[in-house]
Amino acid sequence: MKTFIKYDYYTQLLVAICFILLVVIDITALQKGYSWIGYFILAGFHTISFLIRIFLRNYSQSTTFKIYSTASLTILISLLFIIVFKDFNLLVDFLGFILMFGIPLSPVLAICYLIIVHQDYEKLQKQNPNY
């Protein structure tokens, strides 16, 4: 678990920095909309890391992590249900309403997840200064 937290921190930080660079380059030079690709890559890294953290036995979930997980899972499950049950208009309309608020909230959730990962890494550093 300690190794995962360490590598996850550096991976999430690297992906976030690359995403920010991609957005800046896309806005200033490319102007092709490539930042959406980076947006989904960042979301993929967060989702994989988040799911691993949920199933870690020794990982103590903070209140911030629980709030993040509730919001993130609501958005992910809504998106999955819209893809699977696209023929049920009432369900798609209701879940689409959730996604109207969830998709713009995603950058805030990404920043919150980086804060959670950073706090876990700092906690690990305090417990093991040489790690």
Query: Tell me: the pLDDT tens digits for 9-59?
Result: 999 899 989 888 888 888 888 788 777 788 788 888 888 998 888 888 777
Is the pLDDT reported for residue 103 higher than 80? no
Averaged over 113-117, what is the pLDDT? Answer: 90
User: What is the pTM for the complete model shown?
Assistant: 0.77
pLDDT tier at 75, thresholds 50, 70, 90: confident
- Contact (CB, 8 A) for 131 and 2: yes
Nearest of 114, 105, 131, 98 to residue 12 by alpha carbon: 114
Q: Dig out the tokens for 34 from the structure.
A: 């490539």
Averaged pLDDT of the chain = 84
DSSP per-residue string spanning 78-125: HHHHHHHTTT-HHHHHHHHHHHHHHHHHHHHHHHHHHHHHHHHHHHHH
Burial label for 86, CB within 10 Å (0-12, 13-18, 19+), is exposed
Q: What is the pLDDT of residue 72?
A: 85
| Residues 100-127, mean pLDDT to the nearest whole number | 86
* Residue-level pLDDT at 14: 92
Name the more confident of 118 and 58.
118
Phi, psi (5° rounding) for residue 45? -60, -40
DSSP 58: S
